[in-house]
Chains A and B, each alone.
Chain A
Amino acid sequence: MEKTISSRENFLKGFIRENPVFSLLLGLCPTLGVTSTAINGLGMGLATTFVLLMSNTVIALVKNLIPDKVRIPSFIVIIASFVTIVDLVMAGFLPALHAQLGLFIPLIVVNCIVLGRAEAFASRNTVASSAVDGLGMGLGFAFALTILGTVREVIGSLSIFGWKFMEGDGLLVFVLAPGAFIALGFLIAIVNWYKRMQDKAAIENKKEVAA
């Protein structure tokens, strides 16, 4: 990366500007698959955050020891190891959470955000900024999954974080796969609109300063 950015910016970019789901459109398989409820989205997001933080840190540490041509297989082995560790530790010490999320944990390995950050960021930045990047991106992912899960749960099951606020079944389609696409489409549109508004405001600010 040419331009240096503050670690605050580095951390915050994962939430809107470079949000893995809403802006980079990465890792959509788990995004669409697990977000039928808010709790699932949050749990998956936090598990991914842990893996991202660990894999980014380790990869930044060993980046100079790994020859370019074998970097991808090495990264994948490192990522898969952390995912398996999360899976085992969760099964042993947090069985209740594991019962909810166990189905999705192995999916983190194939989540392209993790490999994407390893490749695009951790393999060419310092350990500290890679850790911040991993944490920010992971939390941004968790944020996106929680919002999407909440929207789908509210419309599809008439409940929020498992608490039923209304009797009845809701719009079943939102719990199923098509609802994931519909809800995600609307959310991406909202984020794009927000980013455009921000850009406009930034340009006008500049004009004012110039004038």
Chain B
Amino acid sequence: MKKKESSFINMFLTLAVVTLVASASLGFVFDLTKGPIAKAQLEKQKAAISDVLPGFDNNPIDEAVSFAVANSSQADSLLFYPVKKENELLGYAVKTVSAKGYSGEIWLMVGINQQGEVKNIAVLDHKETPGLGSKISTEKFKNQFEGITSSSSDIKVKKDGGEIDAISGATISSRAVCEAVEKALVTWKENAN
């Protein structure tokens, strides 16, 4: 087959066809994966909730309530997932976020029991540096937040005079996690208590 000539009409038609086929196939794949992607997201949140406050038998995602963040300049609100066992409230899993990550937002799930203590945290989504900031999802780092309450004064990294050991090389990411946890606790105190 001979190579097509680079005339205006040929170029125009080729590009039109190429982009059309590309967008059609992308639309098709998007449609195909939309369901599974939404399901995977939901599964991830459920898994995170049972990570931070295990042993529930309700469906926290359906019962989520939104509370405004206390003393925040913007209109900001966090989602609270009530975690119940046999209709008794065990606590709330709070989906919280910090915009102060090294590269973009860090989304966390923070489990707070009825005494206002953090049980555990789980990292939902982040864009931190792989190998450095991404270590915020390691047990060693996350476990430091266990038992922290809203009345603990210093949810800060040691460098800032707090109690949390920052990840070496990723102080900014560590700070952002502290901020997000504090935000969850403050909002919990204002609303759920």
Contacts and interface: CB of A to CB of B under 8 A. Distances in A.
Contacts of A69: 6, 11
A73 B131 CA distance: 35
A77 B18 contact: yes
B144 to A, nearest CB: 17
A65 B13 CA distance: 10
Nearest to A70: B11
Contact of A66 (B4, B26, B34, B132): B4
Contacts of A156: 131
Contact of B4 (A65, A92, A95, A175): A65
B140 to A, nearest CB: 11
Interface string A40-75: 100000000000000000000000111111100110
Contact of A64 (B3, B37, B169): B3
A71 to B, nearest CB: 9
Nearest to A81: B22
Interface in B32-72: 32-37, 40, 43-44
A41 to B, nearest CB: 10
Interface residues of B, number: 34
Contacts of A157: 131
B11 A91 contact: no
A47 B30 CA distance: 18
B14 A70 contact: yes
Contacts of B35: 92
B193 interface: no
Contact of A91 (B1, B14, B37, B168): B37
B3 A92 contact: no
Given A70-B6, A85-B25, A36 B30 contact: no
Interface string B109-140: 00000000000000000010111100000000
B11 A36 contact: no
A36 B130 contact: yes
Interface string A103-118: 1000000000000000
Contact of A67 (B7, B22, B132): B7
B75 interface: no
Contacts of A65: 4, 14
29 contacts: A36-B129, A36-B131, A37-B130, A37-B131, A40-B131, A64-B1, A65-B4, A65-B14, A66-B18, A67-B3, A67-B4, A67-B6, A67-B10, A68-B3, A70-B14, A73-B15, A77-B22, A88-B29, A88-B30, A89-B29, A92-B34, A92-B35, A95-B40, A95-B43, A153-B131, A156-B131, A169-B168, A172-B168, A176-B169
Given A77-B22, A92-B33, 10 more contacts: A36-B131, A37-B130, A66-B4, A68-B6, A80-B22, A85-B25, A85-B26, A89-B29, A92-B36, A169-B168
Interface of A: 34, 36-37, 40, 64-70, 73-74, 77-78, 80-81, 84-85, 88-89, 91-93, 95, 99, 103, 152-153, 156-157, 169, 172, 175-176
